[in-house]
Amino acid sequence: MQFSIQREVLLKPLQQVIGVVERRQTLPVLSNLLVVATPGKVTFTGTDLEVEMSASAEAQDIKPGEVTIPARKLFDICRALPDGSKVDFKLSGERVTVSSGRSRFTLATLAATEFPIIDNLELIERAGLPEATLKDLMDRTAFAMAHQDVRYYLNGLLLDLREHVLRCVATDGHRLALAETALTSGGATQRQIIIPRKGVLELQGLFESGEGNVELEFGRNHLRVRRNDVVFTSKLIDGRFPDYEAVIPIGADKEVRISREALRGALQRAAILSNEKYRGVKLEVSPNKLRIVAHNPEQEEAVEELEAKTGTSDLSVGFNVNYLLDALNVLRSDEVLLCLRDGNSSCLLRSPDSEQSRHVIMPLRL
């Protein structure tokens, strides 16, 4: 196997796949990248047995073949070479030589046959949508995923496919984030899958603000995402996601319509004097006014008063201020709607003119 490639062309696929490769591995081959040279292009693949990422680049002077090369060393060498340099690869026996100008590096390799590839997908459903739309859905919801929760099915993101609509849902048991979009193709069957946290973070890092489309392939145990020269595959969390629709409050008829930026600024200021452990703030609603109150064990107090469109009176409910701020940060409208029922019920937070992005926050006893 041998090929020649420009440094910048090589660096892009390496940057896309390197994040998948863990620094500490149980199997030596997992710290390597699988490099496959075929006529016209070279494909680099990294995996940690849970998530697999493949990215391709055009190359010249190719002699087809495949081998695995130490991922981190190859990436560091490529990154350290001067801009515009040409990089030559040549495999001889169990060593690969990487040369550029007067620099030459000889790396140990492992056989490509040792590299574990996820090839059996058992395809059940396909769906297509713009890359920017999928990135937006994930950005609006992924922050609400649980982290190392014993309820392992919460440590990921739910993709809920239903009648040409795709929903992303995440919850950690204290708050829930939901965003949905119509699909450009496919998605006629109903299907729910949970992508693990690492897969979600890798996908978010992969997306560019491009105009292209991505194709989702739903397998029995895997999700595959195809985009131009990149193929991402992730194992799925084998568990049942909670009935999230039952969590969305029904009959939350006490509405508060308020400027998103004004509310966000007031919450950020009140948070300074909130209890560092519970991060609680109290929302007190009265006609055309929202009052935010925060206390801490040092008997300090913050009070913020805001104008709001509401006819509700004598309603007081506590929330974790961080959860409110996280939701406000991903809503895009100038105004937001807080839908409340009573002092012991959760709050539904959304844009006044759209239900495509909804956030549910559980109350906090203060």
Last residue of a domain, one of 245, 278, 304: 245
Both structure tokens of 74: 């190859």
For residue range 227-260, list pLDDT tens digits in order.
Answer: 988 999 999 999 999 999 999 998 889 999 999 9
Residues 73, 100: one domain?
yes
Of the pLDDT bands very low, low, confident and very high (cuts 50, 70, 90), residue 149 is very high
Q: The domain containing residue 96 runs over which residues?
A: 2-114
Backbone phi, psi, residue 279, to 5°? 55, 35
pLDDT of residue 209: 66
Q: In 3D, which of 326, 362, 343, 341 has the Cα closest to residue 173?
A: 362
Residues 186, 253: one domain?
no
Last residue of a domain, one of 245, 268, 290: 245
Token pair 């392992």 in the structure block, residue: 152
Which stretch of DSSP H or E encloses residue 196? strand 191-196
Question: Who's near 277: CB < 8 A, 6+ residues apart?
Answer: none
Does the residue 236 lie in any domain? Answer: yes
Q: Is the dihedral of CA 14, 16, 19, 24 positive or negative?
A: negative
Task: Calculate Rg over the CA atoms of the chain.
Answer: 25
Last residue of a domain, one of 245, 265, 293: 245
Question: In angstroms, how far is CA 106 from the centroid of its own chain?
Answer: 37
Does the residue 278 lie in any domain? Answer: yes
Number of domains comprising the chain: 3
Residues 236, 311: one domain?
no
Does the residue 231 lie in any domain? Answer: yes
Does the residue 366 lie in any domain? Answer: no
CA–CA gap between residue 190 and residue 188 (Å, rounded): 7
Question: Looking at residues 119-145, what average pLDDT do you find?
Answer: 92
DSSP single-letter state for residue 240: P
DSSP 245-278: GGTS-SS--EEEEEEHHHHHHHHHHHHTTS-TTT
Residues 136, 219: one domain?
yes
Question: Looking at residues 28-49, what average pLDDT do you find?
Answer: 96
Cα 309 to Cα 150, 259, 312, distances in angstroms: 41, 10, 9
For residue range 87-96, list pLDDT tens digits in order.
Answer: 999 999 999 9
Does the residue 33 lie in any domain? Answer: yes
Residues 109, 158: one domain?
no
Backbone phi, psi, residue 239, to 5°? -165, 170
Backbone phi, psi, residue 197, to 5°? -50, -45
Both structure tokens of 266: 């007031």
Does the residue 29 lie in any domain? Answer: yes
3-state secondary structure of 109: coil
pLDDT of residue 84: 95
Q: What percent of the chain shows pLDDT beyond 70?
A: 99
The pTM for the full model equals 0.91
Residues 51, 36: one domain?
yes
CA–CA gap between residue 230 and residue 227 (Å, rounded): 5
Q: What is the CATH number of the domain that holds 163?
A: 3.10.150.10
Q: Is the dihedral of CA 329, 332, 335, 338 positive or negative?
A: negative
Paired with 227 in beta bridges are 230
Residues 209, 255: one domain?
no
